[in-house]
A and B are shown apart, each in its own frame.
Chain A
């Protein structure tokens, strides 16, 4: 690198780094933007993470509740069908035994009817 090159680079740097006027509206615009940004709109990272977790937990809870409700309903249906089977079985056994009682009663000789005969 020779002296001409050094000079050229220096000139370019000077040109690039020379002070420039931002214009009359720069400060006003900047202040207006600062005022327009609400303090709450920029949330800290921890709050945003907590909100994400809360959303996830809520969604998971809803899914879990739906699953549990479905399971409970299935269990209830199973219990109901089992109870119905038991009921029918119980009524059949009862009917059989009442039938047996009826047959045995009917096969017995009739009681004496001395008062009816007037003897």
Chain B
């Protein structure tokens, strides 16, 4: 989980590097994730997580505040309205259902969603798309679509993603200090590919 925080900070750095204008209003509603039944049938391992605000609250009640990882997770999910994950791992290369993926991408063309990171690696056959939804200058949604030859993952985080909280976690709980572009302009921030 600490690495999750670190990676979120990396993404934050990428966001700043892109100079995304966070001004478009967007409702904090979950994406309609396809069922991906065909993928689930072929997958050797599936992760299907749907945590709405009530379940997140319930989970938060069972996080141990004395445990650094749990405490970090509790801070991260404060203000979130939902976390939805669909991840499928395969024993062999598979063709992903283009129609379902396209339907998902179409939702991310709605006003408020902005493409943050788009990577196409032909050599590794890896595609990564990260979208962020913003409202009043604050991130209120995150979507990640990753397709690899033997893995397909969709993540949708709904709610106020308090990026400042992530920054405050730097140096704590084993999270390494990560120089953010606005904190240190000379630091080498990751340069995501523009869509």
Contact = CB atoms under 8 A, between A and B. Distances in A.
Interface of A: 76, 79-81, 83-84, 86-95, 97-102, 104-106, 108, 110-111
A88 B155 contact: no
Contacts of B71: none
A6 to B, nearest CB: 98
B57 to A, nearest CB: 9
A111 B126 CA distance: 20
A98 B7 contact: yes
A80 B61 CA distance: 7
B11 A87 contact: no
B56 A87 contact: yes
Q: Which 9 A-B pairs have the closest CB atoms?
A: A95-B4, A98-B7, A83-B59, A80-B62, A84-B62, A90-B49, A87-B59, A102-B10, A104-B119
Contact of A92 (B1, B6, B59, B191): B1
Contacts of A80: 58-59, 61-62
A40 to B, nearest CB: 53
Given A87-B83, A90-B83, A100 B58 contact: no
Interface string B98-124: 000000000000000000010101001
B85 A89 contact: yes
A32 to B, nearest CB: 69
